[in-house]
Chain A
Amino acid sequence: MTELPAKVMQSLLAGLGRFSLMVAEVLRSLTTQRLSGRDLTSQLYYIGVKSQTVVLVTGAFTGMVLCAQTYFQFHKVKMDSATLAVVSVSMCGELGPVLTALMVAGRVGASMAAELGTMRVTEQIDALRTLATHPIDYIVVPRVVATMIAVPLLTAESIAVGIFAAYLVGVHLLQIDPGYSLVNMQRFTDHRDVLMGFIKSFIFGGIIATTGCYKGMHCGQGAEGVGHATTEAVVYASIAILMSNFFLTLLLTRLLALI
């Protein structure tokens, strides 16, 4: 009976080990190899530019529903003009980074795992290695760097659009006073909230790309293997984002209080 848990534990640890080795190799490559500008730009285009629609729609509707829901509660205690402040603080520190990262994980993380997985099962990764090219340098690093640049920018976009949409809903639909609302929003939204969102989204970008690439590079045989890798990339990245978000909130709140 003790064999099964031991096996599960062993494969889990082996996976974590391989993942750490990959991350270490990415860091080594970043410090010792030259990153090709062309590879980076094409990844930035695909990951950043092409993800905008989905991220903007997510941001806008999150801001809108958050505004409506907050208003319904606050209206009861006559705190209508604090509505946008709540929207802004939670969009900047939590919802913006997390929802953007989850959407990008579904779009970009999945396609990275599928693309790299297909390259692996069709021996293209092995071909790369025989052509004296390290797969980490050529495939993984441009994707990781591009995602870590793109996700914070997408998050900023999503926060801005979310707050703007919330403003429209609040002022035009729910008849909140625009002047008081904006003043309150600025008073309660701290630069620390913005900084927290920025740091989080940077880390989430790293999680999405490394998980997607890892799952693709180590996928099983055949079409089934690629399918599995794709699903797992999204699931693992999403869970990692949600879990790390909690700890990052605790940690960053402490750290940012110091500055």
Chain B
Amino acid sequence: MIEVRQLRKRFGDQQVLDGVDLTIEKGESLVIIGRSGGGKSVLLKHLVGLTHPDSGQVLVDGRDISHLNERELLAVRRKFGMLFQSAALFDSLTVEENIAFVLARERNHPPQEIARRVAEALEMVEMPGIQKRKPAELSGGMRKRVGLARAIIYRPEVVFYDEPTTGLDPVVSDSIDKLVVRVCERLKVTSIVITHDMRSMQAVGRRVAMLHLGRIYTSGTPAEMMASTDPVVSRFVRGISDEKVHTF
């Protein structure tokens, strides 16, 4: 479904992605782990064409999207839904208008249908009845749920989650993890989850890929990652800092 070949990207003198190779199959749920500032969000932005690589390819259903212009990319992105790290709700619009955004702009959905689908999407993320609120009135966990509702209402084939549980308390994190799993099973979507939360990784991933030093360092099942004897992986999953390397 999505194939990444030798993706490279630098910002200034910092080589953030240094030859990433990754294949994502239709219907799978992949977790990408890696250190903060390691380039996970940058990788995700390449997958949906928000950023253009310095070199390398991103193939979506066999088509290289890394050189398409913005208008061509818009059509490709209709297949994708993305939940941003900060939820990125439009703060001038209500929850309802946020969620209905894509449908309202497509101009071929009657208002009743839009209202029904918004209600459905809110039901799905367990936030019924908050249509009229503004994003500023919502807590972090609620914003993520609304962000997810906005991303799934138009039935995308792939949903990307950028650190869905970061900044939330353990109980809310757990409920978001369950939500991710439920969305994946009910809507039969491919899901790609970025996280550095090990509980999250075990809860939502069938396969885990670790991004380290700008490349996919290794991949395997969550159980394999937890049991790994590789020093880089085992330090990461157990959360032990490497004293020789500065951590930020």
Contact = CB atoms under 8 A, between A and B. Distances in A.
Interface stretch (A131-139, A193-201, A231-239): A131-139
Contact of B74 (A119, A122, A127, A133): A133
B88 A123 contact: yes
A236 to B, nearest CB: 24
Contacts of A129: 50, 70, 73-74, 77
Interface string A111-143: 000000001001110111111111000100000
Interface string B80-106: 111011101111000000000110010
Interface in B29-86: 45, 48, 50, 70-71, 73-75, 77-78, 80-82, 84-86
Contacts of A127: 82, 84, 88-90
A129 B81 CA distance: 11
B77 A132 contact: yes
A123 B81 contact: no
* Chief secondary structure at chain A's binding surface: helix
Contact of A132 (B45, B74, B88, B150): B74
A164 B90 CA distance: 44
B211 to A, nearest CB: 20
B50 A126 contact: yes
Interface in B110-124: none
Contacts of B73: 129
A124 B50 contact: no
A37 to B, nearest CB: 12
A127 B90 CA distance: 9
Nearest to A32: B71
A110 B80 CA distance: 34
Closest 6 CB pairs of A and B: A127-B88, A123-B88, A130-B82, A132-B78, A132-B74, A123-B84
Interface of B: 45, 48, 50, 70-71, 73-75, 77-78, 80-82, 84-86, 88-91, 101-102, 105, 150-151
6 contacts: A127-B84, A127-B90, A130-B80, A131-B105, A133-B101, A133-B102
Interface of A: 25, 119, 122-124, 126-134, 138
